[in-house]
A and B are shown apart, each in its own frame.
Chain A
Amino acid sequence: MAFLLAILIAFILYPILRVLWIALSDETGNLTLIHFLNFFRRPLFREALGNTLVSGLLVVVFSGLISLPLAYIIARYEFRAKILLQTAATLPLVIPPFVGAVALQLILGRSGMVNLLLMRWFDMTIPFMEGLTGVVLVQTLHFFPFILLNTVVSLSNIDPSMEEMAQNMGCHGFRLFRRITLPLMLPGFIAGSLLTFIRTIDDLGTPLMLNYKNLLAPQAYLRITTVGMDDVDGYVVCVVLVVLSLISLLAARKYLGLAEYATVQRSAPVTRRLHGKKLLLVWLLCGAILGVSLLPHIGILLLSFSKVWSFTLLPTAYTLGNFAEILFRAPHFIKNTLLYTLLAAGLDIILGAAIAFLLLRSRLAGRNLLDAIATLPLAIPGVVLAVGYLRVFHGWDFPGLGAPLTSSWVILVVAYTMRRLPYTVRASYAALQQVHVNLEESAQSLGANRLKTFAKVTLPLISGGLVAGGLIGFVTSCVELASTIMLVPRIELGPISYGIYIYMQSPLGRGAGAALGVVAILLVSLGTYLTHRIFGGRAGNAFRI
């Protein structure tokens, strides 16, 4: 317990508090709000804050608009193409948003496929990818599945008798949806939206790739990396980010609480078969969604095989050289990713299981603190955690390492472990909740000691949940950019996400970057597939937290 608390405090709480303290103190160490006043006085920061809120809100609104009808169709109807629709809904999840940004540039950008065609036919262009529009477009395409999965879960959690009762009372059709279904699913829907909002403001890669800097996350990044570690404004931006995330997280938890109480599952929800015109409409919708969500994948695949691709509809020359580059000339990106993320996932599983066990099975004081700190990373943007680490671990030799933690690749493992810890804690907690204490007590009364009971009864029963939690950690760490980009000590220690970022900086490296992107997509697909295998139809739950 004390050991776990110490780890969590050292690597989560303390770095955050350091950031907070720097933002709230003056040179002499007194508490002050002057830095925040300065923040709000500067038009640049006010604009960044406004842009962050607006883009987050737009992403959530657009995602919601796409998701609501799709979720209703998935949850309530039965048709053969449903599996296609469900696949389409998970495709965007496997492509990291900053990779998607590059791909969409090629297709929708100023000299991308679509605008070249528009130019040829109508002598006009549409600035899809310019400025904030581009960020919102890329993020919506990437994040709508989170809201969709969440909405499907909310919908299918509604007890069917709630709707049947209303039908029995004379209510049906859209009126039934408005009076019963919508209000019952709304808490879950809002919670999902808030969690998505947190992810959008956390996303550093997309704005960087699209070269749009006037959002909070890139501002914090640029301040620290260009102005320097001692620039107070960077820390203030970080604190503002944390406050936004924290408020959203707390609100999301409140709504999730409401959602849970409203849904007592009795039996499988009733699904109806689709026929005729309706079926055709749904087919068209599926096709459209599938097409649009596949755009980034197609773009990145083409780019990875292209030798030359600029100002033309499709690449003009193809090559396998990009894959040769990343597999043979610079294989460290892939090796590093596997090393870091698997280590982090393993650590997460151990820490998550231990924390969940203490939370559910012990009566030790400090459990609530443990829970709170272990949940905190959900509300800590990657940039902020990285800034905290740089501040705390820079400039002194870490015991047992002989060098500062920030100059070793270990810092990346630590960052990934801590950022994804909430997933394994939640997964283990949920799994452990399913294990009735009586099962353990029976083993103990039959002569097994605590350790044996855990090893022989508890662990086998929760192992599915543990592995699933670890897989989600692995998948999300594979494509983590926000803290990676700040914490990578040397270029040869960087993982895939860092490699993509570096390659994409130069026009000649784009092909290799895309090839790395394809590898990232494959890794994430594999992880997602395994998660689905373990979670089964409840995969949506994994993204609910």
Chain B
Amino acid sequence: MQPAEVRLDGIGKSYGEQWAVRGVNLHIRRGEFFTFLGPSGCGKTTLLRIIAGFVFPDEGTIYLDGQPMDHVPPWRRNVGLVFQNYALWPHMTVFENVAFGLRERKVAPSEIERRVMETLKQVDLQGTENRRPSQLSGGQQQRVAVARTLVIQPRLLLLDEPLSNLDAKLRIDMRIELLKLQRDLGLTTIYVTHDQEEALALSTRIAVMNGGRVVQESTPRQIYEQPANEFVAAFVGQSNLFSGKVLQADPRVIEVRTDDNLVIRAASSASAKLPERGDEVLLSVRPEAMELRAAGSTPTGANQLTGHVAASAYQGSFVEYEIQLAGRALKTYTINPKGRALFQRGQGVVVIFAADDVVIVRSDGE
């Protein structure tokens, strides 16, 4: 079946006084891996359930391949769904679980047998067909859930935090498997998660959600490198945020005096519209963009801040430092320096970062 395109047109759903989601407009193209990313309670699961048909929106319309879904019940949407807890039926074997959807579609028994076995092979579960779900490991159960959904060849795949019940290492392995599977099948996929790493790794596009609204919709790189607002900058990855007033702005560089009385220079390209002198702005700098030098060295760079190491955490592939400046603390990541010595607690350092690495995430009037 051809993968679907999905259009959400002004979707809103309220529970009592509270809007679970509101004013959501999205267009998900054929073959995309689209992720709803946000903290718990942001409305991402509600949105997924609306697309699956378990929740009917109070406002707006869902279109699957251009058809409005206003009165279409879940069992007529031909949309595949994988639950967070897998929802495998304990009273059926693996085979019966996977065959369920085909039986509902009145597929001939020999065809069912062939397609179930083929799909089980696809997810590397040959030989488990006569077992009960409870006899499988968490990772295997997860793959049964995926197989059960794929076997009906849905036009759209919906995944509700499918990896969150797996342990950390397996989660990363399954992430790659899922990525390859989706790209091979070219199946339009909507993925719900609160894990920003997962979202960045898997998605072609991401909608970051907060308080029932989509706050940024973009590619993973843009979401990470150009967060639209403070929420996205803080929620996706780590950020050092500075609020302050524009000292001067020209087409090359914008100079900002922060509330902690630091002066930071940002590249003018970081802002869509050139701010004016005196505008309130918020700046974001990623920890890995900040480089450390021992105090007393004379580095070059647009931004140089002096301070001392308040804490250092060795993480293997990188070292996380907390640097105490005059008025505030900064977080920095340094790639494992191999043979060279690490900075010690209390040691004086200079933090340097380029104007290009400073992102203006929000300014008044925008």
Residues of chain A having any CB pair with chain B under 8 Å: 159, 161-162, 164-172, 179-180, 183-184, 261-262, 264, 266, 270
Contact = CB atoms under 8 A, between A and B. Distances in A.
Contact of B74 (A159, A164, A261): A164
B100 A171 contact: yes
A171 B91 contact: no
B85 A168 contact: no
Contact of A168 (B81, B91, B105): B81
B43 interface: no
A170 B90 contact: no
Interface string B261-287: 000000000000000000000000000
B73 A167 contact: yes
Residue in A162, A169, A170, A171 whose Cβ sees the most chain B Cβ within 10 Å: A169
Given A164-B54, A168-B53, A171-B75, 12 more contacts: A161-B83, A162-B87, A165-B81, A165-B87, A166-B89, A166-B100, A167-B53, A168-B52, A169-B101, A170-B105, A172-B73, A264-B85
B111 interface: no
Nearest to B77: A168
B80 interface: yes
Interface in B23-56: 52-54
Contacts of B81: 164-165, 168
A171 B134 contact: no
B85 A183 contact: no
17 contacts: A161-B83, A162-B87, A164-B74, A164-B87, A165-B81, A165-B87, A165-B89, A165-B148, A166-B89, A167-B53, A168-B75, A169-B75, A170-B104, A171-B100, A171-B104, A183-B91, A261-B90
A165 B54 CA distance: 10
Q: 8 nearest interchain CB pairs?
A: A169-B101, A170-B104, A161-B87, A165-B87, A167-B74, A183-B91, A168-B81, A262-B90
B359 interface: no
Contacts of A167: 53-54, 73-75
A254 to B, nearest CB: 15
Contacts of A266: 85
Contacts of B91: 183-184, 262
Interface string B119-144: 00000000000000010000000000
Nearest to B105: A170
B309 interface: no
Contacts of B148: 165, 169
Contacts of B79: 168
Contacts of A262: 90-91
B62 interface: no
Contacts of B134: 261
A184 B75 contact: no
B208 interface: no
Contacts of A165: 81, 83, 87, 89, 148
Contacts of B73: 167, 172
Contacts of B152: 169-170
Interface string B138-160: 00000000001000100000000
A162 B100 CA distance: 12
A200 B258 CA distance: 80
B80 to A, nearest CB: 7
Nearest to A167: B74
A266 B161 CA distance: 14
B102 to A, nearest CB: 9
Contacts of A164: 52, 54, 74, 81, 83, 87
Contacts of A270: 54
Interface residues of B, number: 25
Contact of B85 (A161, A172, A180, A261): A161
Contact of B89 (A168, A184, A261): A184
Nearest to B158: A168
Nearest to A176: B75
Interface string B50-88: 001110000000000000000001111111110101010
Contacts of A264: 85
Contacts of A170: 75-76, 78, 101, 104-105, 152
Nearest to A161: B87
Nearest to B100: A169
A168 B89 CA distance: 14
A162 B79 CA distance: 16
B133 to A, nearest CB: 10
A29 B244 CA distance: 99
A170 B80 CA distance: 10
A306 to B, nearest CB: 52
A261 B78 CA distance: 30
A172 B101 CA distance: 12
Given A165-B81, A167-B54, A167-B73, A184 B101 contact: no
Nearest to B55: A270
Contacts of B77: 168
B95 to A, nearest CB: 15
A260 B152 CA distance: 30
Given A168-B52, A172-B75, A159 B87 contact: yes
A240 B134 CA distance: 38
Nearest to B73: A172
A167 B81 CA distance: 10
Given A159-B85, A262-B90, A168 B80 contact: yes
Given A164-B54, A164-B74, A261-B134, A169 B87 contact: no
B220 to A, nearest CB: 28
Contacts of B90: 184, 261-262
Contacts of B75: 167-172
A184 B90 CA distance: 8
A166 to B, nearest CB: 7
A261 B75 CA distance: 27
Interface string B97-123: 000110011000000000000000000
A30 to B, nearest CB: 49
A172 B53 CA distance: 13
Interface in B221-264: none
A169 B97 CA distance: 11
B168 to A, nearest CB: 22
A264 B54 CA distance: 20
A489 B118 CA distance: 75
A12 B190 CA distance: 61
A356 to B, nearest CB: 28
B47 to A, nearest CB: 15
Contacts of A168: 52-53, 74-75, 77, 79-81
A180 B100 CA distance: 11
A253 B54 CA distance: 35
A162 B88 CA distance: 7
B149 to A, nearest CB: 8
A162 B73 CA distance: 17
Contacts of B87: 159, 161-162, 164-165
Nearest to A264: B85
A170 B107 CA distance: 13
Nearest to B106: A170
Contacts of A179: 100
A537 B17 CA distance: 25
Nearest to A164: B54
A169 B149 CA distance: 8
Contacts of A184: 89-91
A261 B134 CA distance: 9
Contacts of B76: 170
A169 B77 CA distance: 9
Interface string B194-214: 000000000000000000000
A170 B104 CA distance: 6
B104 A169 contact: yes
> Most chain-A CB neighbours within 10 Å: which of B73, B87, B134?
B87
A270 B53 CA distance: 14
A49 B104 CA distance: 46
Contacts of B83: 161, 164-165
Contacts of B85: 159, 161, 264, 266
B217 to A, nearest CB: 26
